[in-house]
Amino acid sequence: MDVELPPFVRDTATRFGTGVPYALKVLAGQLADDPDMGRPSNLPGILTVTVDGDLFEDCPALAVGYIRESDRIEIRYVNPISFTAPAEPVADAQDLEQQDEEPADPATEAVTVREIADAWQRITGWLQHNAPDSYAALRVGAGPTAIAALEGDLGIRIPVELHVLWLLTAGDDGVDGAGCLPGNRALMTLDAVAATYRLKMDSQAHQDTFNTDRPEDERITVWKATWVPVVALGPADGTSGLYLDAASGYMGRWSRYNEAPGEELDTLVTYLEEAADMLEAPALATRDRPGLIGGALVWLSSIDPAQEDRWQPCTG
């Protein structure tokens, strides 16, 4: 029985730990001997088997999904089980009342993992071939330990989509003040996420001292405990940006000046997919238009006027 591991799955899996490829090699041998060792998942035709991370160095516990055919097996996804662990209690439970109390299904979360990894691979693949300076400015992925430490600092569970994105890259240092995301925004580093979260929670605590004396319809909310800052206005400009609501899964706008937050009506998946779409088909871009200044990606909506004469629009 042949066991196939597609390059996309292999490349994504290596981000989860240096011991993961070896663990998958061992699992492939087991599947070749016992193709039906997995159990049915919620995805049609997909069987799921778990890997005990304690048996391998630098390898988390894994949920591995595969399809079984008469003469072959194809591994379709590899998903760290830590993504699906129940959330730990948090300080402000009221803010999480809309968050599901039941652990998410590993197969469903694996789809999200694949969507995020695919969208980010499209973005970084484009940068590598067209804007090498911007590609070089992306940081390497964070380790599971660093992300777990951030979860402890914030006191909430990091959503699976953000967790896997940070495993792929831990921030964007940018080029000449421009990040690689639309509007020249930049993916925040984990340190910046923690600092911004604390700042905004302090701002909300300040508002809450006055909210107790305000009518309910006049109370001010500048931040919720479930909002995780993700994207900043620029690599060195944290005055505003986008957050991901861990409760709803939707993104919104935040500002240091406590302006009213605005819903983007994007998930992290759709946000990254649209960025990838605009890079790959700039003629069809609606929200912004990508271009190049030397080896750096620069989006038209937020270009420095002094650089406009050097800006070359991307044509496809």
- 195 forms bridges with which residues in the sheet? none
Counting other chains too, the contacts that 257-265 makes at CB distance below 8 Å and 24 or more residues apart are: 258/203, 258/207, 258/220, 258/222, 261/221, 261/222, 261/227
Coil, strand or helix: which one is 313? strand
Kindly tell me if the per-residue pLDDT of 166 is higher than 80.
yes
Counting other chains too, the contacts that 81-88 makes at CB distance below 8 Å and 24 or more residues apart are: 81/50, 81/106, 82/144, 82/148, 83/109, 83/113, 83/160, 83/163, 83/164, 84/109, 84/160, 85/157, 87/156, 87/157, 88/151, 88/157
Q: For the chain, give the longest Cα–Cα distance.
A: 70
Identify the band that residue 111 occupies on the pLDDT scale cut at 50, 70 and 90: confident
Q: How far apart are the first and last CA of the chain?
A: 42
Kindly tell me if the per-residue pLDDT of 73 is higher than 60.
yes
State residue 85's pLDDT score. Answer: 40
Dist CA 279 CA 144 (whole Å) = 30
Q: Which amino acid, one-letter code, is at 241?
A: G
Strand order in the sheet with 290-293: 296-299, 290-293, 312-313
With beta carbons less than 8 A apart as the criterion, state whether 75 and 9 touch. Answer: yes
Cβ-in-10-Å burial (0-12, 13-18, 19+) of 55 comes to exposed
Q: Percent of the chain at pLDDT above 70?
A: 88
Q: What is the mean pLDDT of residues 30-46?
A: 83
Lowest mean pLDDT among 70-84, 109-123, 241-255: 70-84
What is the per-residue pLDDT across 268-292, written as a single tens digit (0 to 9) for each?
999 999 999 999 999 988 889 999 9
State residue 182's pLDDT score. Answer: 95
Pair of tokens at residue 175: 């080029």
Q: What is the mean pLDDT of residues 44-57?
A: 85
Q: What is the mean pLDDT of residues 8-19?
A: 80
| Average pLDDT score, the chain | 85
What is the per-residue pLDDT across 113-163, written as a single tens digit (0 to 9) for each?
878 888 998 999 999 999 999 999 999 888 778 888 999 999 998 998 998
Q: Decide which of 65 and 122 is more confident.
A: 122
Identify the band that residue 242 occupies on the pLDDT scale cut at 50, 70 and 90: very high
Strand order in the sheet with 47-51: 2-4, 72-80, 62-68, 47-51, 39-40
Kindly tell me if the per-residue pLDDT of 81 is higher than 80.
no
169, 159, 229: which is closest to 199 by C-alpha? 229
290, 261, 254: which is closest to 181 by C-alpha? 290
State residue 212's pLDDT score. Answer: 83
Identify the band that residue 315 occupies on the pLDDT scale cut at 50, 70 and 90: confident
Kindly tell me if the per-residue pLDDT of 189 is higher than 80.
yes
